[in-house]
């Protein structure tokens, strides 16, 4: 049965994370992480491998439970009303491929049913056209090129017109021309549809072009946050990539954290 989703509240952040901590035995993967993503805002989640980015995303998706702390999506506490919160959310990542034995259109219809999408056939056709997948509708996803799989995954991620979109390296498999089109589409989701977007990426040029704000994670903590075009100069770095390398190699003192 489709989930009954309450009316959106444009005055609330798309995402709010409060004092998140995740501990695996003796290992602390996240340590007192707090941040928000506003409506119409694209926030870059940056950091080296092992910094806690994937753990953060999995906690927002409800795949992992926080050891302490809480997460709200559109004001809904995910630990108390997970289905309602996730009905307003979607996700795409290079490592989360669609089922390869289903065709493109079968995948989109299957996920549309899961999300209780109204006018399912119309919505699926819109996305097939929007992501240049119409000629591949009857092709099994396992036979698509990496770029085609990425476009199909993004189409799936927009089926329910999410208020919060989580992206992990969404353009990693695309050629420059296709990546540019996808970036433009994602930016329009924020500016026109007022979707809040959390974008994990290692492509600093892309982050500077797309993101309104960035969060630097290292060793499970948010060390820096700010405008990606001005933050490097505020911390004596020549570019966002230079700042990324410094954070990855020699994490800055937590005293340097920029207040939210």
73 and 169 housed in the same domain:
yes
70 and 168 housed in the same domain:
yes
pLDDT of the residue at 94:
79
- With CA atoms as reference, report the closest residue to 15 among 158, 115, 226, 162: 162
Instruction: Look at 61 and 146; give whichever has higher pLDDT.
Output: 61
**Number of domains within the chain:** 2
Report whether pLDDT(61) > 70: yes
Confidence of residue 250 (pLDDT cuts 50, 70, 90): low
64 and 169 housed in the same domain:
yes
pLDDT of the residue at 119:
94
Distance (Å) of CA 174 to CA 47, 98, 118, 122 = 22, 17, 30, 27
Confidence of residue 229 (pLDDT cuts 50, 70, 90): very high
Residue 226 domain flag:
yes
76 and 169 housed in the same domain:
yes
- What's the pLDDT tens digit per position in 22-38? 999 899 999 999 999 99
28 and 83 housed in the same domain:
yes
The residue from 108, 140, 161 where one domain ends is: 161
pLDDT of the residue at 40:
96
Q: pTM for the complete prediction? A: 0.87
pLDDT of the residue at 177:
84
Concatenated DSSP letters for the chain? ----PPPP-TTS-SEEEEEEEEEETTEEEEEEEEEEE-TT-EEEEE--TTSSHHHHHHHHTTSS--SEEEEEETTEETTT-HHHHHTTEEEEETTSPPPTTSBHHHHHHHHHHHTT-TTHHHHHHHHHHHTT-GGGTTSBGGGS-HHHHHHHHHHHHTTT--SEEEEESTTTTS-HHHHHHHHHHHHHHHHHH--EEEEE-S-HHHHHHH-SEEEEEETTEEEEEE-TTTHHHHTT-SSHHHHHHHHHHSPPPGGGPPP-
Range of the domain at 109: 97-161
170 and 242 housed in the same domain:
yes
pLDDT of the residue at 169:
87
Per the CB < 8 A criterion, the answer to whether 244 and 204 are in contact is yes
Cα–Cα distance between 159 and 102 in angstroms, integer?
17
169 and 257 housed in the same domain:
yes
- What's the pLDDT tens digit per position in 190-227? 999 899 999 998 889 999 999 999 999 988 999 899 99
């Amino acid at each position: 049965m489709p989930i009954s989703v309450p009316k959106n509240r444009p005055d609330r952040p798309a995402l709010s994370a409060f004092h998140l901590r995740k501990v695996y035995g003796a290992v602390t993967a996240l340590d007192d992480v707090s941040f928000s993503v506003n409506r119409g805002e694209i926030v870059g989640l940056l950091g080296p491998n092992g910094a806690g980015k994937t753990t953060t995303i999995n906690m927002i998706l409800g795949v992992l439970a926080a050891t302490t702390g809480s997460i709200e999506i559109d004001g809904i506490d995910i630990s108390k009303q997970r289905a309602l919160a996730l009905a307003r959310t979607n996700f795409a990542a290079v490592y989360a491929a669609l089922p390869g034995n289903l065709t493109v259109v079968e995948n989109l219809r299957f996920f549309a049913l899961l999300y209780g999408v109204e006018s399912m056939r119309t919505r699926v056709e819109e996305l097939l056209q929007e992501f240049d997948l119409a000629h591949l509708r009857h092709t099994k996803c396992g036979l698509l090129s990496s770029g085609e799989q990425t476009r199909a995954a993004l189409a799936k991620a927009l089926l329910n017109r999410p208020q919060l979109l989580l992206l992990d390296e969404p353009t990693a498999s695309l050629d420059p021309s296709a990546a540019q089109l996808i970036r433009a589409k994602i930016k329009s989701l924020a500016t026109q549809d007022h979707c809040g977007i959390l974008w994990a990426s290692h492509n600093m040029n892309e982050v500077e072009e797309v993101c309104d704000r960035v969060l630097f994670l290292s060793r499970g903590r948010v060390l820096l946050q700010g405008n990606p075009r001005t933050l490097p100069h505020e911390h004596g770095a020549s570019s966002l990539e230079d700042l990324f390398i410094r954070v990855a190699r020699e994490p800055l003192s937590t005293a340097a954290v920029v207040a939210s």
